[in-house]
Structure 1
Amino acid sequence: MIKNFKWLLLVSLTFIACNNDDDNTVVEEPVSPGSANFTKYVALGDSFAAGYSDGALFKKGQEGSYVNLLSQQFAEAGGGEFKTPFTSDNVGGLLLGGTQIATARLYFNGSGPVTVSGTPTTEVSTVLSGPFNNLGVPGAKSYHLVAPGYGNVAGVASGAANPYFARFATASGTTVLADALAQSPTFFSLWIGGNDVLGYATSGGSGVNQTGNLDPSTYTSNDITDPNVFASVYSGIVTNLTANGAKGVVANLPYVSTLPYFTTVPYNPVPLSAGVAAQLNAGYAAYNGGLLYAAANGLISSEEATKRTINFVAGSNAVVIADSYLTNLSGYGIPSYRHATSEDLMVLPSMSFIGTAIGGDPTKVNGVSVPLADKWVLSKDEIAEVKIATDAYNVTIKAVADAKGLAFVDTKAIMAQLSTTGVVSNSFTLKSTYVTGGAFSLDGVHPSPRGYALIANAFTAAINEKYTSTLKKVDLGLYQILYPAILP
């Protein structure tokens, strides 16, 4: 019936988009810390602070993290040494007892992202001697920053501890926050909370919305953190960091719908001929008939029956998905299927899954004759859950920033602009378009080198405004869009 179909999402790779408008003119003036004190800077956060990019943590990416770039600007204004727990190579990936537990980084080979060759050499059980100023931990959620044992190597294999933090935690029972406070910071940055919804989103909403559950010990990696838990943890972290007079900068959280991981694959990528569409409609006739029966007997509304009806036409078609938010009719032998709409988001890995045949059977095509499972789609209802949680987290972040007199970065607005008109800086226009946009790396979630530089400049601007500092911004032209296959 359908042997194969593919669509070309990326025709060419454009590395530089120029614009004569320049919002980043450098005014030469003496660099001053203003009312801030950068003598001892610590950075708390997740993979963004760590410099994670292209699906991995590797040395070159760490060097280009926004907090590392900030530390270089702070150094010109009295800032001290800034230590980062560098990985052992530019391959990326991790080893635990010699067994690889995290994948190597991606690079663009001209037609798509592929994994670089080479074997990771970063061994988790080889604990580095700290303390480290960069306390960015890939995968960390808000409450992980105060969780004892989160850096215990013995807990990595079972998932009780984080392998990235285990490499550089000062003790097996310490916390990220404790390792920060032990350094008596005079200035800090905190950007945390993205992972509190991201695991749920990237898994297509396969986790649990934990609103109403105040016990994080029962959460899984894909769950949405209860906003009250986030508020309590976040407030406590900042209260501890500012207790001795330290100043700092914090950032709010973007909507996941602005990330290329969720915006690259269209909801309607299925091209069909009239004949194939007719064959598919015949295959779904029994299902559609069941919906008519359900509506006629008051089991669902006529509107829901229409929403769930599967009908293919000649030309482009929306994929078929399983949607658990539909009325459960399984007792009547009717599954919960519908066509995707523009309000649903296909996750990036579905790019290579939609249109494939199960076992080579041309009558069993994923997303067409076989509906996509939940993990491939973040549905409209799941998007709403993520948005509600994100909004609640952002209310907390802004309120705490205002109460403690901290600099505030509106990354939500920045990411929204990247996903629409783009951001112009240093005569470059950065957008969130996958591969060609320049702002994001190949994993579709984390920034590119130039994207991290853009973020660093946003933090610098917020610090300058709040503390009357005169820190310089970095030149985006010095940072590439994508890393090549070979790095020195």
Structure 2
Amino acid sequence: MKLNNNIWLLAILLIGFTACESDDDTLADPLIEETDVNTPTPVYTSGTADFSTFVAIGNSLTAGFSDNSLFMKGQEVSFPNILSQQFALAGGGTFTQPTINDNVGGLLLGGMPISGPRLVFDPVNQVPVSFNGTPTTDISNVVPGPYNNMGVPGAKSFHLLAPGYGNIANFPAAANPYFIRMASSPNATVLEDALAQNPTFFSLWIGNNDVLGYATTGGDGSNPITDQATFDGAMTALVSSLAANNTNGIIANIPNVTDAPYFTTVPFAPLDPSNPAFGPQIPTLNGIFGQLNQVFAFLESQGVPNATERSIVFSQTAASAVVIKDESLADLSMQIAGVLNASPTFPAFVESFGLPAAAAPVVANLLGFVYGQARQANANDLIVLPSSSIIGTVNADQSAFLQSQGLPEALADQFAVEGVSLPLEDKWVVIPTELAEIQNATTAFNQTISNLATQFDLAFFDVNTFFNGVASSGYQAGSAFMTADFVTGGTFSLDGVHPSPRGYSVVANQMIDIINTKYGSNLPTVNPVDYTGVYLD
């Protein structure tokens, strides 16, 4: 069984995309207002700041990463590049960036792809798709700076201090492909290369990946949250070094993951009974899970707390929640298998699937193994965006495993449907205990950042509060109303994490306003409508 799991997403994207398109059409023919020839040309000043050598340091958010890649058009609208253009009106100097070779995005190593092209929006099918092109940027072709934009996609706080982070000999274990191609020398640190330019003004936006990596991997442990002591030490070293000699700058904090469409777009209950690939299967599925639900009821009667909360039932009249693995639950694998093996009716149940009664112990053990920590998702779970491509599909590895245990291929496939008969793995879901870890770390890290801004008397951008407002109420940016909705909101790019060009312009504007207030400058902001919300090519 394979579900057409993109139907729900297409409906979401279809609603309001017309507004998104019309906004972009407006960009092609902007209104030019006549200016009175007698109006004096504005005079912009830097106040107490010195913008002559501006250096931006950080991660992908500083680099201009969007649509799941770094590419030329995206770098042109990075928030530091936008800032530099406004700084130039008040004494700012040249601003250089380690530009990717093309607008395809992606990277090569020795001619072999190590990351793919960027995403673009397909208006016909109403889905994000990979750009049709081949990457041409090979990280072995080092083009050392100095660069004013020292944003390194993927970097965590402590990576900016790590010698060898740009050494290709350390790749992939301990080196970053983006820094490899821009480092002044193989063992230089990101901070050293930034300081070598003697910045007179800096921006620092780092720390997102210290929690985001854990969140985007569903808290599966493959990308742990940075420990507090390491984060505090790295941030203190970074800010104290950049702010030495009373250098002015602006630092930004970490937005909450729940404000990004990567974590809010896929509903916890996407299984539609009207879907012809799913609806007709519901009676069979409920029959299978009925056996398990009876086990859960029995176990709770025997003192296993809250066992019935694991019951799985698919509705025939409303959308149903996906089935997930919740590793915070006690593992009842052995108890499930034990109860089923002791049931006198279970062999007949096994025979109803065309299997011999003698297979009952094997099936009982398999059911225990698969559903020992399973439950249906609820509104407190965050289903990550990439799961939309696998929910309802047959997991080939699971099917092969089940066939190796004696199940026929058709039956093995039926028991290997992602999110339906096979619980979604940890990497696809942020469960409440994991979300609490992420939110606690974000709060603690942001306190450190705020304290350092105060200690070194720097401008401070509370990105967390700002993006929370965008997510909850939207944001009026000129004639464009922006939200955190995937694709149609205009704030985030197609990867659901990084801002769109319009989103980056709004970030730059927020920073400009804060800089003007802190340092007495009078820099103008940019018009967000001059920046696209989504690339169609």
Q: Tell me by how many angstroms 1:16 deviates.
A: 6.2
- Post-superposition Cα deviations, 1:284-339, rounded to whole Å, max 9, x if no partner, equal 133223323332333x31xx223211122222111110000011223424410111
* 1:462 paired residue number: 514
Q: Tell me by how many angstroms 1:376 deviates.
A: 1.1
Q: Tell me by how many angstroms 1:35 deviates.
A: 0.8
* 2:333 paired residue number: 330
How far apart are the structure 1 equivalents of 2:293 and 2:155?
44
Partner-residue secondary structure (3-state), 2:57: strand
Partner-residue secondary structure (3-state), 2:108: strand
1:17–1:428 CA contact under 8 A, matched in 2: no
* 1:136 paired residue number: 151
Higher fraction of helix: 2
Partner-residue secondary structure (3-state), 1:321: strand
Q: Tell me by how many angstroms 1:2 deviates.
A: 7.0
Partner-residue secondary structure (3-state), 1:316: coil
Partner-residue secondary structure (3-state), 1:189: strand
* 1:40 paired residue number: 53
Aligned to 1:396, which of 428, 448, 451? 448
TM-score, length-scaled by structure 1: 0.90
1:319 aligns with 2:322: yes
How far apart are the structure 2 equivalents of 1:297 and 1:346?
33
Partner-residue secondary structure (3-state), 2:84: helix
* 1:217 paired residue number: none
Q: Tell me by how many angstroms 1:143 deviates.
A: 0.4
* 2:403 paired residue number: none
* 1:226 paired residue number: 227
1:251–1:408 CA contact under 8 A, matched in 2: yes
Distance 1:329 1:473, change over 3 A: same
Distance 1:283 1:137, change over 3 A: same
* 1:284 paired residue number: 289
How far apart are the structure 1 equivalents of 2:65 and 2:438?
23
Q: Tell me by how many angstroms 1:184 deviates.
A: 1.2
1:398–1:408 CA contact under 8 A, matched in 2: yes
* 2:169 paired residue number: 154
How far apart are the structure 2 equivalents of 1:264 and 1:371?
19
1:348 aligns with 2:385: yes
**Counterpart AA for 1:33:** S
Q: Tell me by how many angstroms 1:4 deviates.
A: 5.0
**Counterpart AA for 1:307:** E
Partner-residue secondary structure (3-state), 2:442: helix
* 2:34 paired residue number: none
Q: Tell me by how many angstroms 1:370 deviates.
A: 1.6
- Post-superposition Cα deviations, 1:50-98, rounded to whole Å, max 9, x if no partner, equal 0001111001100100011001111111111111110111100111111
1:296 aligns with 2:297: no
Q: Tell me by how many angstroms 1:440 deviates.
A: 0.8
Indicate the structure (1 or 2) with the bigger Cα radius of gyration.
2
Q: How does 1:198-217 map to 2 (within 5 A)?
A: 198-207=212-221
How far apart are the structure 2 equivalents of 1:100 and 1:365?
31
**Counterpart AA for 1:284:** F
Distance 1:275 1:483, change over 3 A: closer
**Counterpart AA for 2:389:** S
Structure 1, 412-421 or 93-102: larger mean CA deviation: 412-421
Distance 1:3 1:123, change over 3 A: closer
**Counterpart AA for 1:469:** S
1:148–1:173 CA contact under 8 A, matched in 2: yes
Q: How does 1:99-110 map to 2 (within 5 A)?
A: 99-110=112-123
* 2:463 paired residue number: 411
Distance 1:240 1:358, change over 3 A: closer
**Counterpart AA for 1:243:** A
Q: Tell me by how many angstroms 1:379 deviates.
A: 1.0
* 1:259 paired residue number: 260
Partner-residue secondary structure (3-state), 2:117: coil
Q: Tell me by how many angstroms 1:363 deviates.
A: 5.4
How far apart are the structure 1 equivalents of 2:144 and 2:157?
25
Q: Tell me by how many angstroms 1:229 deviates.
A: 1.3
* 1:24 paired residue number: none
Identity over aligned residues, as a percent?
48
Q: Tell me by how many angstroms 1:242 deviates.
A: 1.2
- Post-superposition Cα deviations, 1:6-52, rounded to whole Å, max 9, x if no partner, equal 4333215231688xxxxxxxx98421111111111110110010000
**Counterpart AA for 2:302:** N
2:165–2:175 CA contact under 8 A, matched in 1: yes
* 1:52 paired residue number: 65
Q: CA RMSD in A?
A: 1.9
Partner-residue secondary structure (3-state), 1:190: strand
Partner-residue secondary structure (3-state), 1:317: coil
* 1:85 paired residue number: 98
How far apart are the structure 2 equivalents of 1:306 and 1:417?
38
- Post-superposition Cα deviations, 1:433-456, rounded to whole Å, max 9, x if no partner, equal 111111111111111110110000
Q: How does 1:424-463 map to 2 (within 5 A)?
A: 424-463=476-515
Partner-residue secondary structure (3-state), 2:380: coil
How far apart are the structure 1 equivalents of 2:183 and 2:481?
39
TM-score, length-scaled by structure 2: 0.82
* 2:207 paired residue number: 193
- Post-superposition Cα deviations, 1:178-227, rounded to whole Å, max 9, x if no partner, equal 111111111110000100111111111112xxxxxxxxxxxx6x111012
1:70 aligns with 2:78: no
**Counterpart AA for 1:109:** D
Structure 1, 105-114 or 365-374: larger mean CA deviation: 365-374
1:91–1:116 CA contact under 8 A, matched in 2: yes
- Post-superposition Cα deviations, 1:156-186, rounded to whole Å, max 9, x if no partner, equal 2x33100001111001111011111111111
2:414–2:421 CA contact under 8 A, matched in 1: no
How far apart are the structure 2 equivalents of 1:164 and 1:336?
39
1:242 aligns with 2:247: no
How far apart are the structure 2 equivalents of 1:129 and 1:417?
39
- Structure 2, unmatched stretches of 5+, are 24-39, 338-367, 397-409
**Counterpart AA for 1:310:** I
May I ask how many residue pairs the two structures share in their alignment?
460
Q: Tell me by how many angstroms 1:3 deviates.
A: 6.2
Structure 1, 2-11 or 409-418: larger mean CA deviation: 2-11
Aligned to 1:113, which of 128, 139, 143? 128
2:471–2:484 CA contact under 8 A, matched in 1: yes
1:278–1:313 CA contact under 8 A, matched in 2: no
2:382–2:431 CA contact under 8 A, matched in 1: yes
Partner-residue secondary structure (3-state), 1:272: coil
